[in-house]
Each structure stands twice: as C-alpha cells, then as structure tokens.
Structure 1
Amino acid sequence: MKINSISIRKMQHTDYEIMSQWLSTKEVLEFYGDMNAPFTLQQVIDKYEPRVNGEIPVAPYIVELEDEPIGFMQRYLITDEQKEVFGYPANFIIIGIDQFIGYPELFNKGIGTKMIKLFVEDIARDKEVNRIILDPDVSNLRAIKAYEKCGFQKVKKINEDTCWMMEYTIDHP
C-alpha cells in the first residue's frame, strides 16, 4: 500500500528492534501500552513474532515515510463474541485496527490521517467487510481528530468509559 511518500508493508522479523524503541517512548506508551512498562526487545519478539508468522489472526504492518519506518498498524477480525458485546449483527464482518506513529516529532503533521486513510481504503476493498472499528482513549484528542478526518464516527464509550468505540461504515455498491 502506498500513497505519495507514505507506504504500509507487512511487519518483518527485522522490525522488532525499531518496535522496541518505539514501545519504550513515553509519547507512544501514553496511549499504546503502559507508560510505566516500556517493552524490551524480547517482549516485542514474544508479542509480535506469532503475528508476523501468521500463528495468530492479527496482521501487523510497518508504516514508512520515504522508505523509512515511522509507525505501526495492525488489523484483526472482530470475533462473534465481541460483535455481541458491541451490539453488531452476527453476520457483519468487522475489522479492528490499531496504530501509532513512533516518533513524537512526526505528530501533528497529517501523517496519521494519511496512513489511516490508506489502511482503510485497503481494508474497504474487501467487499465482505461492513465496518472498521477502533477504540482510542477518550483523552487522545489528536488521534480522535485524525480518525474523524478519515470518516470514523464515535459510537459509544467502552472499557468503563475510558475509550471511544469509533466506526467507519463501508457502503459497498
């Protein structure tokens, strides 16, 4: 997936080092993980290697700006149990996504909006997918603004009102 200078590729084993750097940054951990528990390289390997190898149904990706890694995205199928909890019909195909930009100096430059639009466009090509959802922390106003620019709408607060469930509706012709 590529648009202008932003591209998204599947995560590889060689990306674990950069992931451990990003997941040790307080600005990333503020909304993605635990600020008091930065990831070690081994923790990144333990968490992401099964995903990279296709052993679990979560597909991880690396975002690049001018061919340099700058962020992370992942997609996964929402389970029937999750659909029931969120109030979706059982026959809906729903993809969940998560993402972050790994370098704080790249925040507030429109990069997040571009990478999300690119990812959403790719997912929406699947004619069976009805919705894409994500769940930003209610205080992550920067991310919420980017998601809204991409067409996501707030649906309801979840996780004891700490997160917004936001959805992107796909209307296939």
Structure 2
Amino acid sequence: MILFQNQELGIRTLEPADAVLLEKWLTNPVVLEYYEGRDRPHDQALVHRHFYDEMDATTRCVILYDSIAIGYIQFYEIDEDEKEEYGYGDSNGKIFGMDQFIGEPAYWNRGIGSRLIKDTVQYLIHHHGATIIVMDPQAWNARAIRVYEKSGFVKIKLLPKHELHEGEYRDCWLIEYNVNGREYNN
C-alpha cells in the first residue's frame, strides 16, 4: 500500500517479496558501512527475523523513486522506556522514531534522502499526529547528520556508546524535529 507519493518519490508498506531486495541491499558492504555494519550481512533468515518476524507497531516501508525500489524506511511511536532514555518522560505529545537507508548507492548524493526525510516528517505530522520525531544517527556519520539538519532536525544530546556497529559501541546523536519548536542550548 502506498503511504505517500510526492512526484517521483514515495513510500509503500513492506511486502513479502521485498525480502530479496533487503537481502541485496544488506549484503552490499557499501550500504552496510552505514546501516547495520559490514560485519552483519543479512541472509534471508536474518532478513525475515529482523524485518518480518517482529510483531511490534513499527511501520516498515520500501522507498520508491520513479517506481523503482531504492531503499528502506521505518517509523514507530517510541515506547515509555525510550521516552525516559531520551529525556521525554514528561512529554504529552506523540513522539515517533524513524530509521532509513537508501540501498541503491546509484541514488546517493542526488538530494533524494533530504526529500525523503522532509516528506516522511510531514506524513507523520499530518497522518499520525506526531509532535516530535527523533532519530539517533551515529556521531561519525556526518553526511547523514547534514541531511537531517537540512531537513529541520536539531541535535539534542550525545548518546555515548549507544549502538553496536562493526564490533564496537558507537556514540550517537539524539536529534529531533519538534513541531512546536523548542529552545535549544547546543
């Protein structure tokens, strides 16, 4: 099912046949360097465990560009534990998290990621009532962080040793897009 389509860019819900695409993308070392890690290639069994077998409220989607599947995006309302960890324990609004990657490197550096982030943020605000959207990119991934900042996200706090990537725990930035604005002290 198409969730949104804005000119040539859109997203649709993940389908069983997409497992082949996920395996292709997540065995490519160039993609794995930024998403999951080169030490964690996904065979079909891992793709199914990671993307299909988890019964949670995550919306899993394929990114389409000119009707071609080029990547993956997911979003979810963050749970109470994450709200506490990220410092949103007293927040009343709907807080969503999102993660994404473009799995076809030929589509990198073309502005598609920026458009994807902006369109998905607007979709979450207008269709899910999101008031805050958060992500936690690894601190070393300057390219991704630039894309997110161009899309209106702001660094909130450093999350030391937050994510296991290629055999070591890496620092991440908690970044947010806040619909109502916020005073930032960074």
| 1:169 corresponding residue in structure 2 | 178
C-alpha distance in structure 1 between counterparts of 2:45 and 2:5, whole Å: 30
The answer to whether the Cα contact below 8 Å between 1:138 and 1:162 also exists between their aligned partners in 2 is yes
Aligned partner letter, 1:132: I
C-alpha distance in structure 1 between counterparts of 2:171 and 2:76, whole Å: 21
| 1:94 corresponding residue in structure 2 | 95
C-alpha distance in structure 2 between counterparts of 1:60 and 1:10, whole Å: 6
Which of the numbers 4, 29, 35 marks the counterpart of 1:32? 35
Q: CA deviation at 1:163?
A: 0.7
| 1:78 corresponding residue in structure 2 | 78
Q: Give the % identical residues.
A: 32
| 1:7 corresponding residue in structure 2 | 10
Q: CA deviation at 1:90?
A: 4.3
C-alpha distance in structure 2 between counterparts of 1:127 and 1:58, whole Å: 13
Q: CA deviation at 1:121?
A: 0.7
Q: CA deviation at 1:147?
A: 0.5
Aligned partner letter, 1:16: A
C-alpha distance in structure 2 between counterparts of 1:115 and 1:127, whole Å: 17
Q: Does 1:125 align with 2:126?
A: yes
Aligned length: 169
C-alpha distance in structure 1 between counterparts of 2:146 and 2:22, whole Å: 25
Q: CA deviation at 1:20?
A: 0.6
| 1:139 corresponding residue in structure 2 | 140
* 153-162 or 135-144, which deviates more: 153-162
Q: CA deviation at 1:13?
A: 0.5
Q: Which structure 1 residue ranges, 5 or more long, are not aligned?
A: none
C-alpha distance in structure 2 between counterparts of 1:3 and 1:21, whole Å: 26
Bigger strand share: 2
Secondary structure at the aligned position of 1:130 is classed as strand
C-alpha distance in structure 2 between counterparts of 1:127 and 1:21, whole Å: 31
Q: Please, what is the CA RMSD of the aligned residues?
A: 1.7
| 2:45 corresponding residue in structure 1 | 42
C-alpha distance in structure 2 between counterparts of 1:73 and 1:101, whole Å: 9
Aligned partner letter, 1:65: Y
Q: Which structure 2 residue ranges, 5 or more long, are not aligned?
A: 162-169, 182-186
Secondary structure at the aligned position of 1:71 is classed as strand
* 24-33 or 126-135, which deviates more: 126-135
| 2:150 corresponding residue in structure 1 | 149
TM-score by length of 2: 0.85
